Chain A
Amino acid sequence: MNQDGKNRAYFQETFQEVHAPEALAGKVRNMTKTEAKKLGLSVVKKLAVAAAIAAVLFAGSNVVAYATTGSTWLETVVVHFNVNGATYDMEVEGEQLPDGTVQYSTSVEVPDGATATFAIDSDSEWVTEYYHYAWVTDGDEAEVPRTEVVEENGKVYFINGDVKIDITEDMADGQAAGTYEENGMVYQYEVKEEPGAPGCYELHITSEEE
């Protein structure tokens, strides 16, 4: 027998001693077609969490510049999900969009009737300041509302999903602050122009509960 053959025999003798645990075997053997359908296909909703972070901090050319130099400043955030008591940690990398903004998004499947919560960790303190989440039916994609500061026709607007606030006058001194209401929650926003970086803004959003 050649070397490979000997290794193969060694490997097979070893792994033939590995067996599925009896509890698992029982679950699989006793799974009926109805149960398989229920387990595999009963997901009716997803909790889609999207954090659009750098989209706001580095609106404009800064993001593109980082990407083209190869600097990997795109952070990984950790989203902690708790679905009916079972906990899952998910690392999510930022995805750079064609317009230069960065988006983080993920989702978890939630069985019918279950509850789910989440929390986001990141090294940057601003990452957890705001995020969007939505319940979507399996197969649908949650839209990430845009959160950004844009300049249009000589005016400056703060945009967060459907919320659009004219902050032109406020920004006369390079910063603006205010509140807005969304889905029954009141949020505070703060916008600061990046020194030496025209068209780039720093944005912070916090809910009044925090």
Chain B
Amino acid sequence: MDTQQYERITTEYLDCIYRVAVSGCKNYADAEDVVQNTFIKLWERDEEFEDEEHLRKWLIRVAVNECNSLWRSAWKRRTTYLEEMTKEPVFSTPERSNLYFAVRELPQKYRQIVHLYYFEEYSVKEIADIMRLSETAVQTRLQRARQKLKEILKEAWQ
């Protein structure tokens, strides 16, 4: 990987990986760590990617694994409330803000699946592969996430 390739990849995928990290972490500080660690691993990788889709999936899988390492180790960084507030995104409509915060309310194990399904448009099978879960587990969590979003958002969520 040379510097030019790296720059291209970060420009193309930084927001994508940040969104995956936010979906998988308890707070924004952890999400930022996940993003940095993911791109460190990109530098460390020696093998070429088969194609753009392979690269994208690889980055997402690394980010998902990094999020899971944080949960496994049960680290709790002491961040201040102010630090967290300043990192909340600002949305152009109240409906979008409502959805974002409704998703944030979901348990982490649902949030990432919901993100990979609705935003990244991965199939249940692909999500199972990325997250190393069974397809049944993914399907169940997706259903439960939809139910919870319906409870929170009412008619706004179909």
Instruction: Enumerate chain A interface residues (CB-CB to B < 8 A).
Output: 3-4, 6-8, 10-15, 17-21, 24-25, 27-29, 31-33, 36-37, 39-41, 86-92
Instruction: Say yes or no for B151: interface residue by CB 8 A criterion.
Output: no
Whose C-beta in chain B lies nearest to the C-beta of A39? B40
Chain A residues within an 8 Å CB radius of B10: 25, 28-29
Contact B43 A37 (CB under 8 A): yes
Interface size on B, residues (CB 8 A): 45
Given contacts A28-B35, A36-B44, A37-B43, contact A90 B74 (CB under 8 A): yes
Contact A28 B118 (CB under 8 A): no
Chain A residues within an 8 Å CB radius of B121: 8
Chain A residues within an 8 Å CB radius of B77: 86-88
> Secondary structure at chain B's binding surface: helix, strand, loop or mixed?
helix
Contact A15 B100 (CB under 8 A): yes
Contact A15 B115 (CB under 8 A): yes
Instruction: Say yes or no for B78: interface residue by CB 8 A criterion.
Output: yes
Contact of A17 among B1, B73, B87, B92 (CB under 8 A): B92
Instruction: Enumerate chain B interface residues (CB-CB to A < 8 A).
Output: 1, 3, 6-7, 10-11, 14-15, 17-19, 22, 32, 35-37, 39-41, 43-44, 73-78, 87, 89-92, 95-96, 99-100, 114-115, 118-119, 121, 146, 156-158
Chain A residues within an 8 Å CB radius of B76: 88-91
Given contacts A8-B121, A12-B119, contact A20 B35 (CB under 8 A): yes
Contact A28 B14 (CB under 8 A): yes
Contact B19 A18 (CB under 8 A): yes
Whose C-beta in chain B lies nearest to the C-beta of A81? B75
